Amino acid sequence: MKEPRAEEGEPRAESREPRAASGVDMAIEVAGIRMQNPVLTASGTFGYAQEFEPHLDLNRLGGLVVKTITRLPRPGNPAPRITETPAGMLNAIGLQNVGIDVFIRDKLPYLRTLAPPLIVNVAGESVEDFRELTKRISDQEGVAGIELNVSCPNVACGLDFSTDPRLTYQVVKAAREATRLPLIPKLSPNVTDIRVIAKAAEEAGADGISLINTLVGMAIDVRTRRPKIANITGGLSGPAIRPVAVRMVWQVARAVKLPIIGMGGIFRGEDAAEFLIAGATAVAVGTANFVDPTNVLKVLSELEQYCLANGISDIRHLVGSLQLP
Q: How far is the CB of 89 from other proteins (least distance, A)?
A: 6
- Among positions 268-287, residues that touch other proteins (CB under 8 A) are 287
Q: How far is the CB of 84 from other proteins (least distance, A)?
A: 5
- Among positions 229-248, residues that touch other proteins (CB under 8 A) are 238-239
Question: 28, 152, 263, 276: which is the annotated catalytic residue?
Answer: 152
Among 158, 291, 317, 321, contact with other proteins (rule: CB under 8 A): 291
Known catalytic residue at 307 = no
Among 75, 224, 225, 257, contact with other proteins (rule: CB under 8 A): 75
Q: What is the CA radius of gyration of the chain?
A: 19
Nearest to 258 by CA among 177, 145, 174, 121: 145
Nearest to 104 by CA among 118, 88, 84, 83: 118
Among 27, 56, 82, 218, contact with other proteins (rule: CB under 8 A): 82
Q: How many CB atoms lie within 10 A of CB 324?
A: 3
Site string for other proteins, 88-127 (x = CB under 8 A): xx-x-x--x-------------------------------
Q: Which amino acid is at 23?
A: G
Report d(CA 121, CA 232) in Å as an integer.
25
| φ/ψ of residue 29, rounded to 5 | -130, 125
At residue 90, the 3 state secondary structure works out as strand
- Does position 9 bind other proteins by CB under 8 A? no
Residue (294 or 321) nearer to other proteins, CB: 294
Q: How many CB atoms lie within 10 A of CB 225?
A: 7
- Does position 51 bind other proteins by CB under 8 A? yes
Among 4, 23, 32, 78, contact with other proteins (rule: CB under 8 A): 78
Residue (6 or 291) nearer to other proteins, CB: 291
How is the beta sheet containing 215-218 ordered, strand by strand? 82-85, 88-91, 233-237, 215-218
- Does position 46 bind other proteins by CB under 8 A? yes
For the residues of 54-74, what is the DSSP string, one character each?
TTS-GGGSSBEEPPPB-SS-B
Give residues in contact with other proteins (CB under 8 A).
45-47, 51-52, 75-84, 86-89, 91, 93, 96, 238-239, 267, 287, 289-293
Which residues belong to the active site?
Answer: 152
